[in-house]
Amino acid sequence: MPAETHMEQEPLGREAILQLVKDRLGEILEIDPNTVNEGDSFADDLDADSLALIELVEAIEEEIAERSVDFRIDDEDLEDLKSVRDAVDYVFSRLS
């Protein structure tokens, strides 16, 4: 899909953000995204280390930058993102 098409898309809803997080986690952790649940802890349930979380943040920022100019996940907020739900809620609140 051409990049210019992304700019015309509707803002991401919460379900779309959840799917984005699950898909990117699947790629980064080399797991089936359908096995990722919203309540999963990055460390305890998904065995995601800090490098995987940084990759997730970069992937989310890249994807959302195509839809929302200057979207960024602040470094100081990373320590608060402990679960898939935390990440989805954070992104959704920043886009709303």
* Residues recognised as catalytic: 49
pLDDT(64) > 70: yes
The pLDDT value recorded for residue 9 is: 59
- Please give the Cα distance from 67 to 81 (Å, whole number): 22
The pLDDT value recorded for residue 69 is: 78
3-95: CATH superfamily: ACP-like (1.10.1200.10)
Tens-digit pLDDT profile for residues 73-90: 998 999 999 999 999 999
pLDDT(2) > 80: no
Tens-digit pLDDT profile for residues 4-44: 434 445 678 999 999 999 999 999 999 999 999 999 999 99
